[in-house]
A = this chain, B = another copy of it.
Amino acid sequence: MATDFPLAPAWQVDQWLNSNRPLDLAALRGRVVVLHAFQMLCPGCVSHGVPQAERVHRLFAADGVAVVGLHAVFEHHAAMTPLSLAAFLYEYRITHPIGVDMHEASDPVPLTMRAYALQGTPSIMLIDRQGRLRLREFGRIDDLTLGRKVMRLAAEVAPSLALSKSDSPSQGECSEDRCEVAGDSLADPST
């Protein structure tokens, strides 16, 4: 069954922002990875894709989900340098790790963008706990749909954990929701 989905291509990144060490898929194995490709001067990325990714980063951290941005510049290269990108991230208060997609020779399209065969920006990719590419979508995706898709992958058990896990896989993670339903404030209709 694991062969149904291709492994996500490796990332080829010049430098990382919002991270004090390089990131790669091997190190993130066991986690769900939300990878989004953007350009700092792409209007749909600025208004939708980038802030949405930041919200996912903040909301799903406790679910074993890692959010990674890929600055995939394929136009206006001189206008979107890492220096400008750093100012952009600062001003928009983006805190999740961002990798600068690497260029080779004279190809305007960077290497990771090519490896994922992206049509443009914004694009979003979902990579499961086994490192397999499960979704690749160009354009806007609404929050409800994204929340559903990310959580579905987050609810899958990692291969190494699956053996020792009993019958109720996501139960242990629900402590947060439990807090929201305070037992004593709930009217018990049976009493």
User: Chain A: residues with CB nearer than 8 A to chain B?
Assistant: 1, 4-7, 9-10, 41-43, 46-47, 52, 55-56, 59-60, 62-63, 76, 78-80, 83-84, 86-88, 90-92, 114-117, 126, 133-137, 142-152, 154-157, 161-171, 173-174, 176-178, 180-181, 183, 185-190
Contact status A162-B167, CB under 8 Å: yes
Q: Within the complex, what minimum Cβ distance (angstroms) separates A55 from chain B?
A: 6
Contact status B143-A147, CB under 8 Å: yes
Cross-interface CB contact of A152 among B4, B6, B151, B164, cutoff 8 Å: B151
Which of A56, A171, A177 is most buried by chain B, counting CB atoms within 10 A of its CB? Answer: A177
**Also in contact, A189 and B144, with CB within 8 A (given A155-B170, A168-B156, A180-B137):** no
**Also in contact, A178 and B5, with CB within 8 A (given A143-B143, A155-B169):** yes
**Also in contact, A170 and B152, with CB within 8 A (given A143-B143, A178-B4):** yes
Contact status A135-B180, CB under 8 Å: yes
Contact status A181-B134, CB under 8 Å: yes
- Look across to chain B and name the residue whose beta carbon is closest to the beta carbon of A125: B181
Contact status B169-A156, CB under 8 Å: yes
Contact status B189-A115, CB under 8 Å: yes
Chain B contacts for A174, CB-based, 8 A: 134, 152
Contact status A188-B6, CB under 8 Å: yes
Chain B contacts for A176, CB-based, 8 A: 62
